[in-house]
Structure 1
Amino acid sequence: MGAVRTPIDRRRLVLLCAAVLACTGVLAQEPPTSAPFISRGRGFDEQGGAALYANVCAACHQPDGRGAVGAAAYPALAGNKNLASADYLTSLLFNGLRGMPPLGRMMSDAQVADVINYVRTHFGTSYDDPISAADVKAARP
């Protein structure tokens, strides 16, 4: 038996969706734009590259940095040649790419530098030209 669609059903669906979005806080959130996003209390509390990676990045890129394929494709960081450029990672964190949101906009300059330096010195890579918080600040959109 097919579903009966009436204007009331659509209205209830819209109200239900609005209620769910309101309860999850999605309707009240502003999109991240820059460093002031952090001052509104929506940044990450983790300090240090290892903690940031473990609690923010590893869910997609995996704890070992090998990435994953499933509902989406999460690129491997292990042995990734793109990690040679700290500027590439800075741009990626601020602008996002494909399914990756611009998470760097929710981090302080020091947090961005810490996670970039961590990723560039783990997972089979060892780039010895760290990025500083000042470099990140200069690159922040």
Structure 2
Amino acid sequence: MKKSKSQTAWRLTLAAFLCLAGSTALQALAASDASNVPLSDGWRFAEQDGESLYRASCQGCHMANGEGAAGAGRFPPLADNPRLASAAYPVYNVLHGLHGMPSFGKYMSDEQVAAVVNYTRTHLGNRYLDAVTTEDVKKLR
């Protein structure tokens, strides 16, 4: 049975998509030190400090240094990101998601959300020193 040009083009597009997705995932895995990343038990994140939470929940898409990625999808950079100047912006996004970013609100406590947002806002080239509190997170939950 002969394939139509549109079927062939669709299959080539799908193959390219899968290659790019695999490439992005492999880059993230290669950039991380998987030997010391704890696995969470159950459906909530076990990690408590901001760096560990970043590595467990953010690094897979936004990359180890926060540079973001493009390929199968677009993952905006967090490094040197002026949108993080408003503390409410990343808190809301972590809690509720945005565009293709999933919601992490049901998987993290208020303390964990504050920790990962504070880490992101004070690392990766960002220098926003007004710390997010658990009360800030509760207000946006």
User: In percent, how many aligned pairs have the same letter?
Assistant: 49
Report the counterpart of residue 44 of structure 1 in structure 2: 45
CA distance in 1, matches of 2:59, 2:44: 17
| Unmatched segments (≥5 aa) in structure 1 | 3-40
Task: Give structure 2 stretches of 5+ with no counterpart.
Answer: 3-41
TM-score, length of structure 1 as denominator length: 0.68
- State the TM-score, normalizing by the size of structure 2: 0.68
Identify the residue that residue 115 of structure 1 maps to in structure 2.
116
CA shift for structure 1 position 120: 0.1
| Equivalence for 2:69 | 68
Q: Tell me which stretches of 4 or more aligned residues in structure 1 moved more than 6 Å.
A: none
Contact 2:95 2:105 in 1 (8 A): yes
User: Larger relative CO (CA 8 A, sep 6+): 1 or 2?
Assistant: 1
Residue 114 of structure 2 aligns to a residue whose secondary structure is helix
Q: CA RMSD in A?
A: 1.3
2: distance between equivalents of 1:105 and 1:120? 22
C-alpha contact 2:95 2:113 (8 A) present in aligned 1 = no
Q: Considering only CA atoms, is the larger Rg found in Structure 1 or Structure 2?
A: 1
Q: Give the deviation of 1:104 after TM superposition.
A: 2.7
May I ask how many residue pairs the two structures share in their alignment? 102
Contact conserved, 1:116 with 1:131, CA < 8 A, in 2? yes
